[in-house]
């Protein structure tokens, strides 16, 4: 089970599912529930796509409040139709 948590890191982290890299930036990120075990985007897409979408929307809002525009071409954004 995964959860969204706010955190302060701006560094690559070990994905606690596949061993790959989870790129952490300050603000909302996905972790294994009850831990600080980071999850990469690929694992989140497989395990909890709806939660990944919520986290990306929370990140968008967080960055807007910080005065940072969203990063076009960076992370994949999802629509309600799945396109």
How many domains are contained in the chain? 1
Q: Does pLDDT of 73 surpass 80?
A: no
pTM of the full structure: 0.74
CA–CA separation, 28 and 62 (whole Å): 8
Element (H, E) at 2: strand 2-7
**Residue pLDDT, tens place only, 23-49:** 998 999 999 999 999 999 999 999 999
Domain range for 57: 2-65
Is residue 77 in a domain?
no
Average pLDDT, rounded, for the chain: 83
Q: Does pLDDT of 78 surpass 60?
A: no
Is residue 73 in a domain?
no
Is residue 20 in a domain?
yes
Q: Which pLDDT belongs to residue 37?
A: 95
Is residue 25 in a domain?
yes
């Amino acid at each position: 089970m995964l959860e969204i948590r706010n955190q302060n890191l701006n560094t690559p982290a070990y994905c606690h599912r596949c061993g790959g890299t989870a790129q952490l930036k300050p603000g909302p990120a996905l972790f294994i529930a009850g831990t600080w075990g980071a999850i990469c985007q690929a694992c989140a897409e497989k395990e909890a796509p709806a939660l990944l979408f919520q986290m990306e929307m929370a990140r968008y809002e967080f960055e807007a409040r910080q005065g940072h525009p969203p990063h076009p071409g960076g992370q994949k954004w999802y629509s309600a139709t799945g396109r």
